């Protein structure tokens, strides 16, 4: 099956088979700050897919708050810093469609008029992948370490879905999880209302949007709601928590990697909402 964003590996496949590709994990701010277990789950998946994982210390944020806030000058500086931090690695993989899209789609746009860095940004973008897309499109991963017995619904993050066309890859990976039953909710392509600062700048609209999303999710009665996007997950899990709904939320990497010892988002270790 062909995908619109099928990658063009920078190194040839013979080389990949000859040595383990070195993958730089772009941790993302929210995973770093809120849920490190997602980062470790991503590492486990990448290692299961035969990669060597490195985590460059010099990475910070992808620069989206500056870029979407209209501050292109700072966004450019952060872009160059990120590109430097991941220099020399075969791939850059992020457990987030939104951060991956920033690196892959927007860095080349930001630096398009910069004669010195435009081509470097394009070459860098070629190496960047969202985690699920990387596991399927580049690694051809068919078996995953995790298993889960229960009903799962999947929320597509907007940037991953529309800017990177990540839609089938997470679903194919979920299909490989023994025991997991995927129940699609309606309007999977509708935004959950997070939108970075949007959620605090327009909290009432954001609330209306996340309320609809939670209702759509609840209508398929899942045990677990998964997404590849920490921002969406904090929003949806936060709302479900406030509603007292009996749906747990996790990052898809946790289920795929079988790293489920950490309690679900906004759940206590005894499985209660406290």
Nearer to other proteins, 16 or 84 (CB): 84
Of the residues 45, 61, 174, 256, which one makes contact with other proteins according to CB under 8 A: 61
Residue 74 sits in the site that holds other proteins (CB under 8 A): yes
- Least distance in angstroms from the C-beta of 246 to other proteins: 15
Residues 4-43 that bind other proteins (CB under 8 A): 27, 29, 31-40
Nearer to other proteins, 179 or 272 (CB): 272
Of the residues 206, 216, 227, 248, which one makes contact with other proteins according to CB under 8 A: 206
**CA 98, CA 130: separation in Å to the nearest integer?**
9
Residue 50 sits in the site that holds other proteins (CB under 8 A): no
Residues 215-254 that bind other proteins (CB under 8 A): 234-235, 237-239, 241-242
Of the residues 46, 49, 66, 121, which one makes contact with other proteins according to CB under 8 A: 66
- Least distance in angstroms from the C-beta of 187 to other proteins: 7
- Least distance in angstroms from the C-beta of 153 to other proteins: 18
Residues 148-177 that bind other proteins (CB under 8 A): 158-159, 162-163
Q: Across the chain, which distance is largest between two alpha carbons, in Å? A: 56
- Least distance in angstroms from the C-beta of 182 to other proteins: 22
Nearer to other proteins, 143 or 254 (CB): 254
* CA geometry: angle 216, 105, 232, nearest 5 deg: 25
Nearer to other proteins, 67 or 91 (CB): 67
Residues 96-115 that bind other proteins (CB under 8 A): none
Of the residues 172, 182, 202, 258, which one makes contact with other proteins according to CB under 8 A: 202
Residue 94 sits in the site that holds other proteins (CB under 8 A): no
- Least distance in angstroms from the C-beta of 165 to other proteins: 11
Q: What is the 3-state secondary structure (H, E, C) of the chain?
A: CCCCCCCCCCCCHHHHHHCCCEEEECCCHHHHHHCHHHHHHHHHHHHHCCCEEECCCCCCCCCHHHHHCCCHHHHHHHHHHHHHHCCCCCEEEECCHHHHHHHHHHHHHHCCCCCCCHHHHHHHHHHEEEHHHHHHHHCCCCCCCCCCCEEEEEECCHHHHHHCCCCHHHHHHHHCCCCEEECCCCCCCCCCCCCCCHHHHCHHHHHHHHHHHHHHHHHCCCCEEEECCHHHHHHHHHHHHHHCCCCEEEEHHHHHHCCCCCCCCCCCCCCCCC
């Amino acid at each position: 099956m062909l995908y619109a964003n099928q990658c063009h590996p920078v190194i040839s496949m013979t080389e990949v088979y000859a040595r383990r590709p070195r993958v730089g994990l772009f941790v993302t701010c929210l995973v770093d700050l809120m849920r490190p277990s997602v980062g470790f789950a991503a590492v486990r998946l990448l290692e299961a897919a035969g990669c060597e994982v490195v985590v460059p210390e010099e990475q910070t944020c992808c620069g989206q708050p500056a870029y979407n806030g209209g501050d292109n000058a700072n966004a450019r500086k952060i872009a160059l810093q990120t590109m430097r931090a991941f220099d020399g690695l075969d791939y850059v993989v992020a457990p987030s469609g939104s951060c991956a899209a920033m690196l892959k789609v927007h860095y080349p746009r930001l630096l398009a008029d910069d004669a010195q860095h435009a081509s470097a940004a394009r070459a860098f973008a070629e190496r960047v992948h969202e985690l699920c897309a990387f596991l399927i499109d580049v690694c051809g991963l068919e078996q995953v370490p995790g298993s889960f017995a229960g009903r799962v619904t999947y929320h597509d993050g907007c940037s991953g879905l529309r800017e990177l066309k990540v839609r089938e890859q997470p679903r194919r990976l979920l299909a490989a999880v023994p025991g997991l039953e995927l129940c699609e909710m309606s309007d999977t392509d509708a935004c959950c209302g997070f939108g970075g600062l949007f959620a605090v700048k327009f909290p009432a609209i954001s609330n209306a949007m996340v309320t609809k999303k939670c209702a759509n999710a609840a209508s398929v009665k899942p045990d677990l709601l998964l997404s590849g996007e920490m921002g969406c997950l904090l929003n949806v899990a936060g709302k479900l928590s406030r509603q007292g709904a009996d749906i747990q939320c996790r990052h898809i990497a946790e289920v795929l990697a079988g790293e489920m010892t950490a309690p679900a988002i906004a759940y206590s270790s005894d499985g209660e909402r406290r």
